[in-house]
Structure 1
Amino acid sequence: MDLTHLRGKYTTKGLEEKDLNTNPFKQFEIWFNDALNEKLCEPNAMSLATVGKDMMPSIRTVLLKTFDEDGFVFFTNYKSKKAQQIEENPKSALLFSWLELERQIKIEGSIEKISKTKSLKYFLARPKGSQLGAWVSHQSEVISSRSLLEQKFDEMKNKFASGEVPFPSFWGGYIVKPIRVEFWQGGQDRLHDRFLYEKNESGKWEISRLAP
């Protein structure tokens, strides 16, 4: 299939360095609020790229649950493929793609588990169905059918029907701690605006404009 005829036009006025906050986390918050105000579908959805010891990159979509100046947090099964790759190589990249706003944000940095206390706090705030789902799915493992998942879900639902769902030791959060954050704004004639925040040796953020 030839897709060369598919071409979109970017209509934004562009982005200048003077319009950026000097702090990438605050700039992220500004853009994230824009995405919320535009009522985008799943604005906290982000692509997570990891690479294990076999050097084969893997990417999937996860949901951002919290962020601050320490980094960006998501939750998953600690026995999943992504968790295995993180164990082998604790570096990762995130991508937020908000095409309706003609914007992307790319984040690169180290990744590590958050504390069990923080993971427990979030687990307890989840709907009961999501709590049960964490127990049911052996993430990334081959299964014979969906009906097997549904059967296990019903078993867990009955098992914990009269009380709280216990916190699974194999589940919790990761935090991506950025060393580079890029803000991308679509521009006319493919002259996109790209600004890179990068930590220098003293731990301060420096901003550079990149060619599109």
Structure 2
Amino acid sequence: MAADGLVHADPGVVTVWSDIGCPWATLALATLDSAARARGRELLVDHRAFPLELFNRQPTPKLILDAEIVAIAARRPELDWRLWTGPEYRYPVTTLPAMEAVQAAKSPEVGGLAASTQLDAALRQAFYVEGRCISLHPVILEIAAACDRVDEFALAAALARGDGRAQVYRDWESARGPRVQGSPHLFAANGYDRHNPGADYRWTAPPGKGFPLLEQYDPEWADLLLERLGR
């Protein structure tokens, strides 16, 4: 890590501060992954937790998430996102266990940064597209078992020990500083530093009363970032 602890020192790694339950962060990561695939390169992300429920002292309201998902999916239908259609009692009330698993996956025994990157993407796919309850360890481990970079047995043992939880709380403390402005905030060792890149949106009224209006989304930021990454 870089000296300030906010940015991974490897010039080929993107550091992303986010919450898995944040649609804007998931949009940014999907855009970056699509751009990397188009270039035929592997994307490595150092995921850092920006736990919205700890900042806000409550679960992220489904009413707000649904409105943001609709606004983003209408502009970017290729994401194939869906609104939650399962029973309300199965809706994820917390994303902390999922974020803890992503941190635990960074361990070499589980698979390292490549495993963590893959698991984070799979957990977001499970929530936004498949409608799965990513609050539960059994569900998280089922998702991990489908990730070829992840040793799901090592991950299960790590989660049983509580690995990953302390890092999520350390990230929360770091994210309280002024440099991390929200979810998502992207950094790279080359000096890249952007909060929610590409998105031009506003709420028509305060969340819960109005609706998010995504006036423009420019995905070119991802190509520009990848061009600046070390090879």
Shared fold by TM > 0.5? no
Structure having the higher helix fraction is: 2
Structure having the higher strand fraction is: 1
Q: Report the structure number with the largest CA radius of gyration.
A: 1
Report the TM-score, using the length of structure 1 for normalisation: 0.28
Report the TM-score, using the length of structure 2 for normalisation: 0.26
